[in-house]
Each structure stands twice: as structure tokens, then as C-alpha cells.
Amino acid sequence: MVPDRSPSPSPSLRSPAPRSSPASPPSLAARKRQMVSEELRETALQLLAARGYDETTVDDIVAAAGMSRRTFHRYYASKEDVVIQLLADLGAEMRAELGGRPESEPPAESLRRAVTVAINFCAGHHDAAKTLAVVRLILRTPVLHARSLERQAGWQADLAAVLAARLNLPVDALYPEVAARLAFVALNTALERWALTDGEADPLELTDRAFEMLAPALAGQGLGEVGG
């Protein structure tokens, strides 16, 4: 099955917007705050990727953006938060994708579709070179990598809860937790290989191959909780 490789383009490196019901357009003040936040993030990510995390200071970021430290801290607690908040909405997007998959669909396929949201955001972005630089920055910076894994732990728990509900299993059942963890192993392996090959490897293809390897376990064979 060929995954969706055509995410909608966006004018800047923005987090995916969570799915929600139609709402009133944002106010002028809200749009201004959003523009300032994105300008700071764009500037910070460019500097961090080019110079390195430890070599870039908040003063460097605000000087390049033409703003004050006070303005920076109105939007971000630290330079670390600039990077981590970029990925803030991915968990909600993956959870929504998993929850919206057909109930008759095998768990492995539903989970693959869910983590493909993150793959598409990173590798399918209109400026993939920039997102590649961000992924490499996270992987080579211990504090960012630790924060990323901490956030992923919450996403894993969310996907496990959605999967348990879909399969009519107790919330503390073993299968959903193991399945969600394996899905993130596939996701992280694909992104790491994408980064290590400087974008040459296709993370969508790697994800597909990883899920083919995981299919027997994700089918629930031998777990005693989900029929194969």
C-alpha cells in the first residue's frame, strides 16, 4: 500500500494544526502573536541548525530577529522550547489519525497510518532540508533528544489508549502498549536513517518495511489478547 506522500504545503516551518471543528477566524491580535511566534521560531531554527545548539544563545536569536529578550520569553521559555514546540501538535495529529481509521482495519495498518503523519510532516514538508536539519539537531543534542523522547512517551500512551478502545481491551492491556511502542520504534528508526543519510533514505519506505517486519507481532499472534 502506497502511503500519502503529498502533504499540503505551508509558507513556513509550522506545526501541523490539530483537527478541530470550524471556529471563528482569529482576531488581529491573535494573528499578530502567531506571526511573531513563527518569526522567532524560523530565526531560531536557522541559527541552531547552522551554528549548533550550545553555540547559539537567546541573545543571538533575538538580535537576528530584531526583537528583544522580553519578546522572546513572552513566547518561549528557552531556546530548547523553540525546537520542542515545533513538534507539539504531532501527538494530537497522530492520535486523531488513529482514532479516525476504519474499525475493521488491522491495528498494524492503523498504527502505520498514524505515525506516517509525523513522517510526512518531517520528510514531506515543502522545505524538507530545513526539517531534516531540525531532526539532525534533535538527534545530536542530548537535551533536545531527551525532551523529544519524553514527549513521545506521552504520545505512545495516547495511541495505546486509542488502540485499546478500538479493540475493546482494558486500558491497561499489554497489547496496545506494546503495539504503540513498536510503532514508535519504526518511526524513530526511519527518521534516524533519514537524518544519518542526509536525506537520501526514504523514511516512508523505511517505515513501510519496518511495519512489514513488525506485522506478526502487531497482529497479536501469541499475545492472548487480540486474534490474528
- Give the Cα separation of 127 and 186 in Å (integer): 23
Following DSSP, what letter does each residue of 63-78 receive, concatenated? HHHT--HHHHHHH-SS
Per DSSP, the three-state class of 191 is: helix
Which pLDDT band, with edges at 50, 70 and 90, does 50 fall under? confident
pLDDT at 26: 79
Mean pLDDT of 13-19: 49
Mean pLDDT of 7-16: 43
What are the start and end residues of each CATH 1.10.357.10 domain in the chain?
A: 87-218
DSSP assigned state of 28? H
pLDDT at 185: 96
Share of the chain above pLDDT 70, in %: 85
Q: Is the domain 28-79 a CATH 1.10.10.10 member?
A: no
pLDDT at 87: 77
pTM: 0.77
What are the start and end residues of each CATH 1.10.10.60 domain in the chain?
A: 28-79
DSSP assigned state of 119? H
Q: How many residues are present in the chain?
A: 228
Please say if the pLDDT value at position 16 is more than 60.
no
Question: pLDDT tens digits, residue range 116-141?
Answer: 999 998 887 667 788 888 899 999 99
What's the one-letter identity of residue 151? R
**Which tops the pLDDT comparison, 158 or 26?**
158
Instruction: Give the position of cell 530584531.
Output: 66
CATH number of 87-218: 1.10.357.10
- All three cell numbers of 219, joined, read 497482529
Q: What is the mean pLDDT of the chain?
A: 85
**Contact call for residues 187 and 119 (beta carbons, < 8 A):** yes
Question: pLDDT tens digits, residue range 58-114?
Answer: 999 999 999 999 999 999 999 999 888 877 778 999 999 999 999 899 999 999 999
Number of H helices, E strands in the chain: 10, 0
- Give the Cα separation of 226 and 169 in Å (integer): 9
**In 10 A of CB 99, how many CB atoms?**
17
